[in-house]
Structure 1
């Protein structure tokens, strides 16, 4: 345990988000996602749901404000207008923790292609279907850095 670090950020996931740079992407994947065959390094988050990992990451990692889109979810196959409950949860967490970003739906195979280019995939034990989200890392500004008071 560390002070000020979300308790769901294990050592591997903390390392992953710490080594990512501006514009790098990370996938939070549900239990059905083909994480091991996508290509990027997989960080296991067994026993944890996708919303918990999303909250843990966004507690420490900003989203990219230099582009139009910084968060994506997978569209429901056969009904592109459907918004699963878990995706409503994702949108609420993004708005609460990252600001006025829209979690943009993208077609299943386009989501897979984007996931293949990610820096990391976090494999969760999320059982809700379509419990997948991709985040683009933003810039950490100097005023957001930890500082020890000098008094």
Structure 2
């Protein structure tokens, strides 16, 4: 047991976060995201949603200040009438941890998002049921 680490961060996830270097990407996937088939390293976070996992990770994980958009969200597929309310939750969490606010966020076309996810250092698989809840975050430096 350690002090100051959110309970939702498992030892396996803590190890992954610690191993990552500046510029490495981490994907936090919702329940529909093909995490196992795309991950170099997969961490299960069953029973938890993307917003709570993202909030816990950003308590420990600096976002990259040397890129314009260290946060990527999946764009809504054209013709899909889904309103991804979860993306507003994600935006609020990102704004809590990064002074640049929503300027840090870019929206990535679905298949480009999958391609970027395949190159990520690791993927965290959640059981988030809200659609378009996937997020990619780029690790920054500790100063």
Fold shared per TM-score above 0.5: yes
Any stretches of 5+ residues in structure 2 without a counterpart? none
User: What residue number does 1:119 align with?
Assistant: 121
Q: 1:128 aligns with which of 120, 125, 130?
A: 130
Conservation of the 8 A alpha-carbon contact between 1:58 and 1:98: no
Distance in structure 2 (CA, Å) of the matches to 1:28 and 1:67:
19
Identify which of structures 1 and 2 has the higher relative contact order when contacts are C-alpha pairs closer than 8 Å and 6+ apart. Answer: 2
| Secondary structure, counterpart of 2:44 in structure 1 | strand
Where in structure 2 are the equivalents of 1:54-69 lying within 5 Å?
A: 54-69=54-69
In 2 relative to 1, CA 70–79 (structure 1 residues): closer, same or farther, beyond 3 Å? farther
Conservation of the 8 A alpha-carbon contact between 1:31 and 1:123: yes
Conservation of the 8 A alpha-carbon contact between 1:25 and 1:134: yes
| TM-score, with length taken from structure 1 | 0.88
How far residue 7 of structure 1 moved from its aligned partner, in angstroms, is 1.2
Distance in structure 1 (CA, Å) of the matches to 2:11 and 2:94:
23
Distance in structure 1 (CA, Å) of the matches to 2:22 and 2:66:
10
Distance in structure 1 (CA, Å) of the matches to 2:100 and 2:89:
15
Any stretches of 5+ residues in structure 1 without a counterpart? 142-151
Runs of 4+ aligned structure 1 residues displaced above 6 Å come to none
| TM-score, with length taken from structure 2 | 0.93
Larger Rg over CA atoms: 1
1:87 lines up with 2:87 in the alignment: yes
Q: 1:105 aligns with which of 107, 123, 140?
A: 107
